[in-house]
Every structure is written in structure tokens, then in C-alpha cells.
A and B are shown apart, each in its own frame.
Chain A
Amino acid sequence: MAGVDFSVFFRSQSPSRMTTAQTARTEMDSSAEPAQRRIGADTAFRLFVGACALLVLVALGGLVVLMGVGGHKAFSTFGLAFSFTDVWNPVADLYGALAPLFGTIISTLIGVTIALPLAFGTAFWLTAIAPPRVAAVVGTAIQLLAAVPSIIFGMWGFFTIVPFMARHVQPFLSHNFHHVPGIRFLIHGAPFGTGLMTAGIVLAVMIAPFMTAVMRDVFAAMPAMLRESAYGLGATRWDVMWKVVVPWSRSGMIGAAVLGMGRALGETMAVTFVIGNVTAVGWSLFAPRSTVASLIALQFPESPAGSLRLSSLLALGFILMLLSFASLALARLLRGDRK
């Protein structure tokens, strides 16, 4: 009986070990339950954990399918043009995804553009420049702050960044750059303080600690030998960083950047506070806009069940799902090419 157990589950078992095991078993099992029931329990256990795995699979499948089914009405009413129309008019019952998608993509791009050099510079400072004791403290603090809930960043942006943008940055920009042709269209708008730029800054602050923590781990995972050899050849800190560490950990860094981007794409609370929530498309980075997640958060509660508006919001959710899925797939692809 015991032999059956082993051959099924542990193929590496050697015959001599089996005999000792058998004796051990007969010694131990004078009062144990019959082996038949034991195999039954094993099967039940296996079925249980398999069912758990299946449930996880079903959860994501259900998420995607339900989002698609819910958005079906919007897609069938507006066709594929839904993705490229910039109206969002609940009064006329006309909806298009362009405005929120535009807001999501531009604010994410701004966020990643600001966060990436900050995170890289900080990780460089932490691994190569700072005294080890300081680096340990600051690194831990940054890792901890990566776990702060996003609503905190939203509140901070709402009470700190928005007034700062409205009182200082926007008046300064419109005063000094109002007549510069290339920049004018970017800074056009009344100084509300909310908008794509503010959302981008808040997103950058939110994802920078996360990206720094990942990059620091990636840099630290490099064999010290490589670094030391480069220093031994007379390389400066920056030489080591740029010509040894970065090429070695390129895929990990890209992974960090893309994961940060994925977080920014789907972020709701940090953005809803500071984006201004106007469904419009335009190049000005300082005018109120909206993103997919913020639009869903704000308009879902006031959309009646079965309405075209609700369906359009679910269709937006479906598109957001695809975007976040694409960013994860991109991260995997870029990381996978090392192997």
C-alpha cells in the first residue's frame, strides 16, 4: 500500500528507502485508519485545491466576460466608433470613449515621464552614492511609502498640489509663455489647478516609490563581482552605473517602469481628486479633463441600471481592462527576452 503512495507522488524514491519507510509505517500505524480512506482524503484534498485554482481562473474570466457583456449595448449602438468619438453627453444619450481614454493615456505618460528619472536617480543614489546606513534607512522608508493607499496621494494632491498649481504655476506659465507659439496650446486655460499635469504629477509621486523600490532590488541583485571589477579597472561611479549595472539589469528596469505604468493606468482615487472631471479632448495640460477610472467612479452611481450610459461605462471598463492587460503582457515580453 505504502509503495503505491510513493510511486504516485514521489518518483525519486529509491527501493531501499521504501522498505525502511514501510517498516516505519507499520510501526506507526497500528491504530491508523485504513489506507483506502487515506487515498480518499488525498483525492478530496486535491479536488479542493484544484477547485480553488479553478475559482481564481473563473474570477478573471468572469470579470472580462461580464465587462464585455455589460458594454455590449454601447458597442452595438455606436459600433467601433465608440472608441474614437469624443462626445460624452448624458443629456443626448451620446457616448464616446475618446475623451477619457485620452485623459488616461496622457496623464499616465506624464506620470511615467516624471517618475522614471526620479526613480532611476534615487535608485542610483541609494545603491552607489549614499552611505550604506543612510541608504538602508531611506530605502526602507521609500519601500514602506510604496504601500500607502492611493487615496492619501489623492488627498495630498487635492489640498497641496492643486492650490499650488492654481496660484503659482499656472499664472506664471500663462504670464511668461502665453505668446510662445509652440507652448501656448499646452498651457491654455483658466487657472483651476486641476488637469492632466496635476494628475500626472500626483501619479508620478504615487508610482515613484514603487519603481524606486523595484529598481533598487534589481540593482542589488547584480553580482557584486561585476561592479567591483569595473571599479578595479578605474571606472567612475557613473561609468559603472551606465555601462555595467544598466545593461545587466535592463529588463528588470523596464519591468519596473511598465508595472508602474500599469498602476497609473487604472488608478482611480489619486486621479479623481485632481483631474477636474470634464469630459473633453484638448491639448492643454492645465485644463480639467477626465480619465476612464475617474469617469466610472463619478458617473456610475448616477447611471440607472440597463441604461446606455451604464453600458458605455462598462464598455470603458472593458477597454481599460484591455489596456492594463496589454501593459502586463508588455512587461512580461520585455522581461522574458533575457531568458
Chain B
Amino acid sequence: MNAVQKSESGWRPNPRAAGRRRSDRLATALGMIAAGILVLVLASILWTLLSRGLAGLSFAALFNPMGPPGSRGGLANAIVGSLIQTAIALLIATPLGLGCGIYLSEYGENNRFASCVRFVSDVLMSVPSILVGLFVYQILVAPLGHFSAIAGSVALAILAVPIIVRTTEDMLRLVPVAMREAGAALGAARWRVTIFLCLRSAKTGVLTGILLALARVSGETAPLLFTSLGNQNWSFSLNRPMASLPVAIYQYAGASYDDWVQLAWAGALLVTLGVLAINIAVRFSARRG
């Protein structure tokens, strides 16, 4: 545009404009470099994970329980343990989080107690997860005198609850007041309106929150270290230490046996794939719903 205008009207480019364009080019280059670095680093993580994890993934890794180095041990008991503990954590966290979210959105207008709970739930969302492990150790492990799977589940549940609370409250707030009024106009009691109208119409969003909580919780290691401890053998008792995938990865990754390190990578790949799959499912359902 400059060339044309210059020849026609004798217009000269403003030196400040040239400076602005220079800094624009510099900033563009720096932005591209930053994005390039970030994408490359993240790709490197995925590549390391895929190449080393796939190498370690085998029939034995998936179906044998953990064992001493060199004994063709696998991760089966850790996988099952993780599934059990996250399932119980969700069973505890879902009613609690839903209840709290319902309270905040339906009964928590201009209410001192509700705003207090809201703040506390935000704090809980950002609390370092290892402190939750310490907390559950003090209330469930130390008094009972032994590590247990249920303690691990409770620790995971404490991490899951604030996520469910937040999404439930936000989603219920999106339900139009007219819907509640319509329900009440038909003579439905308030709890009926809340559960069968509001919660049902906010179903997708609430489910998204639960899935996100599941994704967050299923990769957590720190809160399990002092609660469910980990276990080398099969154990289905909730009253005894139970193996879990993240803790097994933690134990195996630092080991000096090659087969254990390989198993750790296989486990890392499984955990990551699981978490990513949940997140992709959430995205997909959000787009459709």
C-alpha cells in the first residue's frame, strides 16, 4: 500500500510506523518461537511416552500381578486397584459434591454460610494434593493403625469433590428460573423440582464435572502414598493396602531394574491414555450437548 500511495500523493512513511512494524515482526517471531518451543516439548513428552510405553506394553504387563525384578511381573493388580479406588472415590464424591453444589445454587443466595462454603471449596480445589494425603493419614490411617484402600479412596474423593461442586453449581445456575416456576406451578415439591427438572436439564454439564473429577483423580499419586500405600500382591480387601497404577509407576520408575522401568513407562502410558480419553470424551459430549 505504501508504494502506491507514495507515488501518487508524495506521502512518506512515518518513521514511527516503521518502528511499530519492526516491533510487530519481532513480537510475531518471538510468539512463534514460544509456541514452537512449547509444542516441541509437549510433543517430546508424548513421543517419549509412546515409544517407551509401547515397548513395555505386553500381555504380561497387562495380565500379570506385580512381581520381583526379572520374574515377568506385570501391572494387573495395580490397574485393578486403581479402578477400584477411583470408583469408590467417585461413589463418595458424587453425592457429596452434587449435594453441596445443589445447596450452593438453590439455597445459597445472599447467604453467609454458602459464600463461606464456596470459598472453602475453591481453596480445596487448589490445595496441594500431598497435604490431602497427610490429612487422611491422620484421620483414617493413624487411628486405625494400618494403611487401607478405603483411606486412599477418601483422599481421592476429597480431591474430586470441589470440582464436582463447582461444575454442579455453575450448571444449575444456567437452568432458567421459568423452568423451576413451571415445576412448582404443577405442584411439585421443591426437592422434586430440583432433582427431576433442574438436575435433569443440567445433566450434561454435571456429568462433565464428574468426568473431569475422574480424570483429575485417576492420575494422582501423592495422596495415595500415605493412605493406600501400594501392594505387590493381589488384594481386594478395602481394609488393607491396595496397589494403584500411579504409585506403582512411582516405585518402578526410580528402580535400577530395566524391566521395572519398562513397566513404569507402560503404566505411565496407560494412565495418560486413560486421562486423555476421558478429557476427549468430555469435549466430544460438550460439543454435541
Q: CB within 8 Å of B: which residues of A?
A: 2, 5-6, 9-10, 12-13, 17, 20-21, 24-25, 28-29, 32, 38-39, 41-42, 44-46, 48-57, 59-63, 66-67, 70, 117-122, 124-126, 128-130, 138, 140-142, 144-145, 147-156, 158-160, 205, 208-209, 212, 234-239, 241-242, 259, 262-263, 265-269, 273, 293, 296-297, 300-301, 305, 313-314, 317, 320-321, 324-325, 327-328
Contact = CB atoms under 8 A, between A and B. Distances in A.
Nearest to A269: B221
A323 to B, nearest CB: 9
Interface stretch (B72-80, B232-240, B269-277): B269-277
A191 to B, nearest CB: 20
Given A63-B135, A158-B254, 11 more contacts: A12-B177, A53-B114, A54-B117, A67-B131, A205-B42, A237-B28, A238-B20, A238-B26, A296-B130, A300-B225, A300-B226
B131 A57 contact: no
Contacts of A6: 184
A129 B32 contact: yes
A24 B222 contact: no
B49 A156 contact: yes
Interface stretch (B3-11, B61-69, B95-103): B95-103
Nearest to B34: A121
Contacts of B271: 149, 151-152
B283 interface: yes
Interface centre among A63, A119, A154, A160 (most CB of B within 10 A): A63
Given A59-B124, A63-B132, A120-B34, A155 B265 contact: yes
Contacts of B106: 49
B189 A42 contact: yes
A98 B32 CA distance: 40
Interface string B205-249: 000000000011011111001100000000000000000001001
B263 interface: no
Contacts of B177: 12
Contacts of A5: 184, 189-190
Interface string B147-187: 00000000000100110010000000000010011001111
Contact of B128 (A48, A266, A300): A266
Given A53-B113, A70-B138, A208-B38, A21 B253 contact: no
Contacts of A328: 122-123, 126
Given A156-B45, A236-B24, A297-B222, A121 B113 contact: no
A142 B250 contact: no
> Lowest 5 A-B CB distances belong to which pairs?
A266-B128, A149-B219, A121-B34, A52-B99, A25-B187
Contacts of A147: 215-216, 275-276, 279
Given A50-B107, A153-B45, A324-B127, A28 B186 contact: yes
A29 to B, nearest CB: 6
Contacts of A13: 181, 184
18 contacts: A9-B184, A9-B190, A10-B184, A12-B177, A46-B190, A52-B102, A66-B135, A67-B131, A121-B32, A122-B39, A142-B38, A144-B280, A150-B221, A151-B219, A238-B20, A269-B221, A293-B130, A314-B138
Contacts of B17: 234
Nearest to A331: B126
B55 interface: no
Given A70-B138, A269-B222, A138 B272 contact: no
Contacts of A155: 249, 253, 264-265, 268
B120 A138 contact: no
Nearest to A235: B20
A118 B34 contact: yes
Nearest to A314: B134
A62 B135 contact: yes
B249 A29 contact: no
Contacts of B95: 52
A151 B23 contact: no
Contact of B27 (A29, A50, A241, A324): A241
Given A147-B216, A160-B44, A317-B131, A118 B246 contact: no
Nearest to B265: A155
Contacts of B83: none
Given A63-B135, A122-B38, A48 B190 contact: no
B59 interface: no
